[in-house]
Amino acid sequence: MARPGHSTAWLPLLVLLFAAGAAAQSGCLSATFTGGRTFLKCNQLPVSVLTTILRNTAPTLDNTALSFDVPVPASAEYAGGAYTIYATVALPGNATSHNTVWQAGPISGGRVSQHSISGPNVQSLQRLDFLSGTSTGASNSRLHRRNLHGVLNGVGWGVLIPLGAMIARYLRVFEAADPAWFYLHIACQISGYALGVAGWGLGLKLGSESKGLTYTTHRSIGIAIFCLATLQVFALFLRPDKKNKYRVYWNAYHHSVGYSVIVLAAVNIFKGLNILKPATGWKTSYVVILATLAGVVLLLEAITWAVVLRRRKRNRAHAGANGTGVQL
């Protein structure tokens, strides 16, 4: 099945199965309900085939002409637990090989409902050669790009950016780590930003190719993350000197925007996992990563506070011994 305007590459044939004319079929036995009403119990029912062009995710059951010629109307039969479709089609562009997608969606209220967008439903592509009658599994480049989009954003926004923030908050407390902590912080943030932007751009490309299916919340959060992270990058060029009176306001802005990016990224990664629906291990792995980072944060928070309090106590004692009365 295909989107309108793509008949040169895909054969948009929607097959709907109905039980029709059961009374005229062989293999039916008469049976009676408890109240005396009779009905037919049949082992085999005829299969009706409808063809239509998909224009949305919930097409009607109207039998409409396709965008290419079908000289002989399609028919189908059910035998041995499988449906077989018979059809004669005029191949567009004089090509003998075409991509096909096989899907199955439930019928509700006289309409075909949207099929699943995970698991086998996103792995049902085939390259069918009508001349030889052979078919091969087609490479699902879109699925690969979706996976790459998830990995880039997961590592960039979800791991490197939080790690860089942890380095800035906790390593700077230790005098021996200065200025190494700053360069480690910058390295993590730049790497995370680069991977995140690459994943974000790939996500926009995937969204532009998706007709009729838009993940609005996931997309909006992704754009917000990109804007805030980009603002952080440019704000570095406006960072006041440490002795500048506006430095405290810049620090407050820098911290609040940075933590906002981390929280939004975690939320959006889970939304992306719910959309992509990978194997359970992927979501479990990310939960383990978050839990590990949270545990390290709690440990480092306790250690840094202990270091800071001990340093303050030592400075007070040193100031008192010198008779300066200066408290640091």
In a domain, 310, yes or no: yes
**92 & 219 share domain:** no
User: Do the domain assignments include residue 53?
Assistant: yes
Domain stops at, among 122, 137, 152: 137
Does 104 share its domain with 222? Answer: no
Flag whether 17 is in a domain. no
Tell me the pLDDT of the chain averaged across its residues: 79
Same domain, 121 and 149: no
Using the predicted structure, report yes or no on whether residue 201 has a pLDDT greater than 90.
yes
Q: Is the peptide bond before 179 cis (omega within 30 degrees of 0)?
A: yes
The C-alpha atoms of residue 200 and residue 226 are separated, in whole angstroms, by 7
Residue 180 lies inside a defined structural domain of this protein: yes
Mean pLDDT on 150-166: 94
pLDDT for residue 189 is more than 90: yes
In a domain, 327, yes or no: no
What single-letter amino acid sits at 53?
Answer: I
Q: Which residues pair with 84 in a beta bridge?
A: 77
With cut-offs at 50, 70 and 90, classify the pLDDT of residue 57: low
Give the mean model confidence (pLDDT) for residues 277-305: 89
Residue range(s) defining the domain that contains residue 287: 144-322
pLDDT at 22: 38
Domain assignment present for residue 130? The answer is yes
Same domain (yes/no): 89, 190: no
* pLDDT score, position 138: 55
Task: Tell me how far apart the 2 most distant CA atoms of the chain are, in Å.
Answer: 111
The token duo for 155 is: 């590592």
Between 37 and 304, name the one with better pLDDT: 304
Domain's final residue, options 116, 137, 158: 137
Between 238 and 4, the more confident residue is 238
298: its two tokens = 């709690």
For residue 230, what are the CA distances in angstroms to 223, 235, 261, 299, 308? 11, 9, 10, 30, 32
Q: Which of 16-20, 78-82, 260-264 has the lowest mean pLDDT?
A: 16-20
Q: Does a structural domain hold residue 102?
A: yes
Please compute Rg for the chain using Cα positions.
Answer: 31
Task: Please choose, from the candidates 43, 28, 213, the residue with its C-alpha nearest in 3D space to the C-alpha of residue 116.
Answer: 213
**One domain, residues 107 and 210:** no
Q: Is 316 found in the same domain as 192? A: yes
Q: Which range is least confidently modeled, 47-51, 104-108, 206-210?
A: 104-108
Same domain, 123 and 56: yes
Q: Residues within the annotated binding site for heme b?
A: 149, 185, 218, 254
Query: Do residues 112 and 242 lie in contact, with contact meaning Cβ atoms separated by under 8 Å?
Result: no
Contacts of 85 (CB under 8 A, 6+ apart): 13, 15, 49, 74, 75, 76
Alpha-carbon 98 to chain mean position: 28
pLDDT value at position 47?
A: 77
Is 162 in the same domain as 131?
A: no
Last residue of a domain, one of 97, 116, 137: 137
- The answer to whether residue 212 scores a pLDDT higher than 70 is no
Shortest CA distance to 185 belongs to which of 210, 167, 162, 207? 167
Q: What is the pTM of this model?
A: 0.65
Give the span between the Cα atoms of 66 and 228, in whole angstroms: 47
Write the CATH number for 270.
1.20.120.1770
Same domain for 149 and 286, yes or no, is yes
Structural domain tally of the chain? 2
Highest-scoring range by mean pLDDT, 34-48, 65-79, 248-262: 248-262
47 and 77 fall within a common domain: yes
Is there a single domain that holds both residue 151 and residue 127? no
Structure tokens at 158: 């979800």
* Model confidence pLDDT, tens digit, residues 236-277: 888 888 888 888 999 999 999 999 999 999 999 999 998 888
Between 11 and 150, name the one with better pLDDT.
150
Within this chain, do residues 106 and 149 fall inside the same structural domain, yes or no?
Answer: no
Cα angle, residue 13 at apex, residues 128 and 215 outer, rounded to 5°:
95
Summarize the annotated binding site as residue ranges. Answer: 149, 185, 218, 254
Residue 98 inside a domain? The answer is yes
